[in-house]
Amino acid sequence: MTGNDFGATVARHRKYFLSGATRSVEWREAQLTALQTMMTERAEDFYAAMWKDLRRNRIDADLTDVKFLVDEAAYTRSHLRRWMHPQVVSTPLTLAPAHTHVRFDPLGVGLIIGAWNYPVMLALSPLIAAISGGNAAVIKPSEVSAATAEVIARTVPHYLDPEAFSVVLGGVPETTALLEQAWDHIFFTGGPPVGKVVMTAAAKNLTPVVLELGGKNPTIVHSSADLATTARRIAQGRWLNAGQTCTAPDHVLVFKDVAKPFLEHLKNAVVAMYGSDPQKSPDYGRIVSPRHFDRLVKLLGSGQVYHGGEHDREDRFLAPTILVNVPLDSLVMQEEVFGPILPVIEVGSVEEVIRYVNARPNPLGLYVFAEEQGVAERILDATESGDAVVNDCTIQPLIHELPFGGVGNSGMGKYHGEWGFRAYTNARGVLYHSTKIDLGVRYPPYSEHQRLR
Ligand code: NAD
């Protein structure tokens, strides 16, 4: 669907929502099954589109998008009845006989705005959460990953209930027009600047938002870390999707005494994964657009290239690159890298790491590699981040049970699994109060005795 008259679309979905059709558990289960079928039957279309947009290989495409969504839909379907079940809570004796519980009611019609880096996951994983909550939704995939957006727009109406869901294609003008509508929920994935635009628009109608934003994820390598495994995990986490991952290590803070061997291990890990000519590797991705390519090439000047640095604009190729001697006020340390460049900075103590992290906006992820007992806990206890991982990085959104999302500058609200269900429902407290007993003491006029208490 294109064009900017979205009022009629929202009205149609709201009418359907208000008919009650989306509330039943059977409807939700059927939509989750349909989504699973869509991802399985149309997998080839999704693989081809992500290859075109990002040169994503099938194994990574399954890990983060295609099979991930099949699994997430199955996981959600198998837990849905339990999540939907009202939660009974205790009632004060003074109100007895009574019964109190919390019901989880759908919010209505939601808007989902996706980002381009995991273009299927970031459009459809919020949709799974919306379905689980019994909502209708309009999905706006990123225009930057145009081939994938087109496949989403083409397939969703064939599989999912078209009365409840629409896909809108377009960029800033279309998103701006969408944001002018009155929504019951807005789910946005993207950068903090556009997150502010979305929240400002949502404020006009006091619409609840989930903002899944980015940030500079610090990755701490302590003197006690297992350097070979640490380097491999950081390399995979940073260079997956050519570094265009919101949870990727943005930069490494390595303890001085292990900086040299760590850099050696890191370089070896990159070569082992992508070869000495990564442009020829079938497993290495491409930068999504010439604009992002140009932005990244400018960041190369922020330090000394320890490894990599090769680039080819025609091919949107930028090699896995390690930067050293990077001043903290250089360009690469001012913005989220969101590409295949990894600055490595030396630090001297846990206290220095804590001061460093706390002096900057809250990141989406914080990663600590340490074998020594207590080091990770000390850092986690003294800092804040959306998520944290000890001795690994990047992969935490793949765990359905973990709440995923930022804090402060990296976003607000969590999703995945039951957290997504909660984001898309109103926890509505209900008191059923019997009329069999009706104590007079609660009503005026109050007695002298009550007044003196
Ligand atoms: P972006 O903020 O530029 O765009 C995101 C979406 O907003 C797109 O659909 C786009 O069409 C729309 N948009 C862009 N400008 C707009 C405007 N002025 N008004 C209204 N809508 C507008 O982000 P991006 O470049 O697509 O993605 C990169 C960012 O997303 C990074 O910061 C990354 O860390 C973050 N990200 C976060 C997560 C997460 O789950 N937390 C996941 C992926 C990416």
CA distance 199 to 196: 5
- Residue of 6, 139, 142 to mutate, ligand 1, most atoms within 8 A of C-beta: 142
From the alpha carbon of 404, which atom of ligand 1 is closest?
40
* C-alpha distances in Å from residue 365, one per residue of 80, 216, 247, 319, 327: 28, 8, 6, 24, 22
Smallest CA-to-CA distance from 148 within 66, 93, 241 is with 66
* Coil vs helix vs strand at 425: strand
Question: What per-residue confidence (pLDDT) applies to 315?
Answer: 98
Query: Contact at 8 Å (CB) between 293 and 313?
Result: yes
* Alpha-helix residue ranges (DSSP H) falling in 85-145: 121-132
Ligand 1 contact, 289 CB (< 6 A): no
Is the pLDDT score of 186 beyond 90? yes
Is the pLDDT score of 309 beyond 90? yes
Residues designated as active site: 212, 246
Cα 28 to middle of ligand 1, angstroms: 28
Q: What percent of the chain has pLDDT over 70?
A: 99
Question: What per-residue confidence (pLDDT) applies to 449?
Answer: 86
Ligand 1 contact, 114 CB (< 6 A): yes
Smallest CA-to-CA distance from 61 within 74, 50, 72, 53 is with 50
Ligand 1 contact, 336 CB (< 6 A): yes
Question: What per-residue confidence (pLDDT) applies to 4?
Answer: 67
Cα 199 to middle of ligand 1, angstroms: 13
Question: What per-residue confidence (pLDDT) applies to 3?
Answer: 54
Total residue length of the chain: 453
Stretch 110-117: mean pLDDT:
98
What residue's CA is closest to ligand 1, atom 11? Answer: 171
From the alpha carbon of 176, which atom of ligand 1 is closest?
20
Contacts of 200 (CB under 8 A, 6+ apart): none
**Residue extent(s) of CATH 3.40.605.10 domains in the chain:** 6-207+416-426
How many Cβ atoms are within 10 Å of 183's Cβ, its own excluded?
A: 23
Cα 6 to middle of ligand 1, angstroms: 21
Ligand 1 contact, 283 CB (< 6 A): no
From the alpha carbon of 195, which atom of ligand 1 is closest?
2
What residue's CA is closest to ligand 1, atom 5? Answer: 190
Q: Is residue 288 left, alpha or beta, with left meaning phi > 0 and alpha meaning psi from -120 to 50?
A: alpha
pLDDT confidence of 1, banded at 50, 70, 90? low
The predicted-structure confidence for 87-100, as pLDDT tens digits, reads as follows: 999 999 989 999 99
Cα dihedral 410, 411, 416, 419 sign: positive
CA distance 307 to 332: 16
Is the pLDDT score of 450 beyond 90? no
Ligand 1 contact, 411 CB (< 6 A): yes
Ligand 1 contact, 129 CB (< 6 A): no
Write down the pTM of the prediction.
0.96
384: buried, middle or exposed (CB in 10 Å: 19+, 13-18, 0-12)?
Answer: middle
Stretch 208-226: mean pLDDT:
98
**For the chain, what is the radius of gyration of the CA atoms?**
25
Cα 115 to middle of ligand 1, angstroms: 5
Question: What per-residue confidence (pLDDT) applies to 67?
Answer: 98
Ligand 1 contact, 364 CB (< 6 A): yes
Ligand 1 contact, 197 CB (< 6 A): yes
| CATH number for the domain running over 6-207+416-426 | 3.40.605.10
How far from chain centre, in Å, is Cα 65?
A: 13
Ligand 1 contact, 212 CB (< 6 A): yes
| Residue of higher predicted confidence among 243 and 441 | 243
The predicted-structure confidence for 247-287, as pLDDT tens digits, reads as follows: 999 999 999 999 999 999 999 999 999 999 999 999 999 99
CA distance 184 to 202: 9
Cα 194 to middle of ligand 1, angstroms: 6
Stretch 320-333: mean pLDDT:
98
* Coil vs helix vs strand at 166: strand
pLDDT confidence of 398, banded at 50, 70, 90? very high
Give the tokens for residue 124: 């459809």
Cα 191 to middle of ligand 1, angstroms: 5
Query: Contact at 8 Å (CB) between 404 and 419?
Result: yes
Provide the pairing of β-strand 209-212 with 387-390.
unpaired
Give the tokens for residue 289: 């657009």
DSSP 281-302: -TT----S-HHHHHHHHHHGGG
What residue's CA is closest to ligand 1, atom 27? Answer: 190
What residue's CA is closest to ligand 1, atom 14? Answer: 172
| Residue of higher predicted confidence among 451 and 8 | 8
What residue's CA is closest to ligand 1, atom 22? Answer: 172
Q: Which residue do the tokens 């040169």 mark?
A: 55
- The mean pLDDT of the chain is 97
Is the pLDDT score of 180 beyond 70? yes
Q: Which CATH architecture has domain 218-403?
A: 3-Layer(aba) Sandwich (3.40)
The predicted-structure confidence for 350-359, as pLDDT tens digits, reads as follows: 999 999 999 9
Query: Contact at 8 Å (CB) between 222 and 354?
Result: no
Ligand 1 contact, 177 CB (< 6 A): no
CA distance 187 to 277: 40
Cα 192 to middle of ligand 1, angstroms: 8
Contacts of 348 (CB under 8 A, 6+ apart): 255, 256
